[in-house]
Amino acid sequence: MLVRKFFLTLVLTCIGSPLFAQVIDIPHQQDAATRTLFVPAPNPKALVLLFPGGGGVMRMQDDGSTKNRHTFIRSVDQWSQYHIDAVLVDTPYDLGDYRRGDLRSRSDHLERVAEVAAYYKDKYHLPIWIFGHSMGTSTATNFANSLDKNSHLISGIIIAGTVRTASVDDSVSMPILALHHVQDSCLGTPTDASARIVNKRPPQFVSKLEMIDGGTSQGDECQSFAYHGFNQTEPELIKRAAKFILSN
């Protein structure tokens, strides 16, 4: 297991204590490791694994830096105020998208997700949540569907800007929160994609749909600086997700 530490100024500014972020490479058979960035919180009550959209590739460097400006990267420092550890999960290969083909149901990808979840569960003994945005919602839902209903590896999933092809099996009993921006105009992530998942769940299971408004939109309507990417509403996005995690 390769672990690299570096000083994360944003986190220290928010919480005022000497916590260090860590780049941790999770081994995967004989192939390239799955790179993660662990951003700790003081007195953590849960841990969230963050899976960005698009092809999922952040090309995270040894010092944790990346040129990717995804929503989760812009807001990774905001989890600590809610006492939730945050983990950005990179991928060594392109996972596709709804136009080019979605590879997030591949066994290799889901095995990597399980390895990451198991590593952080074993190391920190916290409830583990998976949060996927856009194409990352395909990772979250496919992984939830692949788990045995008696598995306690993860405590719940959060999906935001849900891709239209995502679905959750009726056997998935864990809590699910779906978040969507009111003005999300990306054709691949219509509002009813989030609503459908929540509305079709058996009534005995915890599930909730929340809409977020406001912010600004720039560039491609399906990219991270559009309404689809919760541009300028990241604090509200994280607050809603954190509240759900801590209440379940």
Q: Can you give the pTM of this predicted structure?
A: 0.92
Question: Within 13 Å, how many C-alpha atoms sit on residue 69's CB side?
Answer: 7
Residue by residue, pLDDT tens for the chain (248 residues) are 555 444 344 443 444 445 789 999 999 988 999 999 999 999 999 999 999 999 999 999 999 899 999 999 999 999 999 999 999 999 999 999 877 888 999 999 999 999 999 999 999 999 999 999 999 999 999 999 999 854 789 999 999 999 999 999 999 999 999 999 999 999 999 999 999 999 999 999 999 999 999 999 999 999 989 999 999 999 999 999 999 999 99
Tell me how many domains the chain contains. 1
CATH number, residue 200:
3.40.50.1820
Q: What is the pLDDT of residue 17?
A: 47
Q: Give CA torsion, residues 179, 232, 116, 33, to 10 deg.
A: 140
d(CA 85, CA 15): 12
Residue range 71-117, pLDDT digits in tens? 999 999 999 999 999 999 999 999 998 778 889 999 999 999 999 99
| E strand map for the chain | 2-6, 21-28, 31-39, 46-51, 84-89, 96-97, 101-102, 128-133, 156-160, 176-181, 207-212
161-186 pLDDT per residue, tens? 999 999 999 999 999 999 999 999 99
Give the sign of the dihedral formed by CA 68, CA 71, CA 72, CA 76. Answer: positive
H helix and E strand count, the chain = 6, 11
Bridge partners (DSSP) of residue 179 are 160, 210
Mean of pLDDT over the chain: 91
Of 158, 219, 245, nearest to 194 by C-alpha is 158
Domain that holds residue 111: 2-247
pLDDT value of residue 45: 98
Measured between alpha carbons, how far is 211 from 224 in angstroms, rounded to an integer? 17
